[in-house]
Amino acid sequence: MANIITRKSVMTLFSSPTCAMSHCARFVLQEKAVTADIEYYDPTDPPEDLLELNPNGTSPTLIERDLVLYDSRIIMEYLDERFPHPPLHQMDPVSRANARMLIKRVDQDWYPLLDDILSSSDKKASRFRRILRESILSTTPIFAARPYFMSDEFSLMDCAIAPLLWRLPSLGIDVSTPNDVITNYAQRIFKRPAFKRSLSDAEKEMTELLK
């Protein structure tokens, strides 16, 4: 219990070292340059400190004083509002709503396929890899239209997409095109100092793109 009492005065993010959704939250945390403890753990064996605050032991879980959040997108939104500079959401309501809809679409269309690839047999995983690759490639015009995803400025949408793109090479998924639009976008995001700091040791070993 002493650890929990101490934790009330410190922001702590409990995170799996390999979970893409947890990586999204860590990316925002680093973009905001927030002082916080990041505690990596095995989601199959959550620490007692975490279970006392979040009985499900899910990753990520953010704790700040009496606040306990355990949904990646809610954590990202909270951090952006709690630490408004630099802003990662557009300022006007219409743009914010559109960004939320796009992130929801990514969560519905891409992240389930990532989970399917990681949890399936080779034959099924091969099919899911093909579907995910084709789905990402179908958005090439969107990646080409602006410097960042659907925006001229870096935003939460990029924080939501980059951790997935980072994992593609280790999954055997090649999204390169003749004009390298998606690859160039990914490299631009991966070179951000905050993205580099957001990587766990396990994630650093996933790909050779960060050089």
Q: Which of 11, 14, 15, 19 is catalytic?
A: 19
d(CA 193, CA 141): 27
Instruction: Determine the Cα–Cα distance for residues 193 and 31; give it in Å rounded to an integer.
Output: 8
Give 169's Cβ-side CA count (13 Å radius). Answer: 15
- The CA distance from 130 to 63, in Å, is 38
Judge contact between 156 and 76, C-beta under 8 A. Answer: yes
Annotated catalytic residue 159 = no
Kindly list the distances between the CA atom of residue 102 and the CA atoms of 74, 107, 110, in Å, as whole numbers in the listed order. 15, 9, 11
How crowded is residue 131: how many other Cβ atoms within 10 Å of its Cβ?
Answer: 15
Active site residues: 19
